[in-house]
Amino acid sequence: MTDPRSEQPAAAAGDWPSDWLRATLGFLALRALAAGPSYGYAMIGDFEQHGFGTIKGGTLYPLLTRYETAGLVVTEWRAGDGGPGRKYFALTDHGRAELARLRVEWHRFAGTSIRYLDPERPTKETPE
C-alpha cells in the first residue's frame, strides 16, 4: 500500500472496497457528466479508465434514473451508428450546482479523514 498522500493508487483497478464505491458513485457520476452528455456504457468505461474498476450497469442506471427524477440530469435518446439508440444523460444547472457542492464537501471530508488516519496524530489514551 502506498502513502495516502501520494499520487500512486494503493489498489489495482477494481480492488476498492465496494462500500467506498457505493458511497462515492453518485458524485463520480455527476463528475463524469461535467464534460458533456454521455451514455451509461461510456461512463462505465471512463470510471474504469480512471482506476475505479468496473461499475455494473445495474448499479449506475438506477442512480441516473434517481438523478433524473431529482432534476440533476436530463435524458435524450440518440440514434446509434447502425445499432440501437442510446440514452444520453446531461447535467442540468441544478446538477452542476450539486456537483460543485459535493466537490467542496468531499474535499472537506477527505481532509478530515486523512488527518484522523495519520499515524503521526496523537491518539487519546483511555483511562484504566
pLDDT exceeds cutoff 90 at 122: no
Q: Using alpha carbons only, what angle is made at residue 26 by residues 24 and 31, rounded to the nearest 5 degrees?
A: 95
Question: Would you state the pLDDT for residue 6?
Answer: 46
| Residue 91, C-alpha cell as written in the block | 447535467
Question: Would you state the pLDDT for residue 128?
Answer: 60
Within-domain flag for 43:
yes
Within-domain flag for 52:
yes
Average pLDDT (47-54) is 95
pTM, 2 dp: 0.81
Number of domains in the chain: 1
Could you give the C-alpha distances from 15 to 6, 47, 114, 126, in angstroms and in order?
18, 13, 20, 35
Within-domain flag for 122:
no
| pLDDT tens by residue, 71-113 | 999 999 998 788 888 999 999 999 999 999 999 999 999 999 9
Region at 121 (left for phi over 0; alpha for psi -120 to 50; beta for the rest):
beta
Tell me the pLDDT band of 14, cut-offs 50, 70 and 90.
low
Average pLDDT (21-35) is 96
Within-domain flag for 62:
yes
CATH number at residue 62: 1.10.10.10
Q: Which domain holds residue 66?
A: 18-117
Question: Would you state the pLDDT for residue 28?
Answer: 97
Question: Would you state the pLDDT for residue 4?
Answer: 46
Within-domain flag for 60:
yes
Sheet holding 73-78, edge to edge: 38-39, 86-91, 73-78
Within-domain flag for 104:
yes
Pairwise CA distance, residues 24 & 98, whole Å: 14
Within-domain flag for 48:
yes
Within-domain flag for 5:
no
pLDDT exceeds cutoff 60 at 58: yes
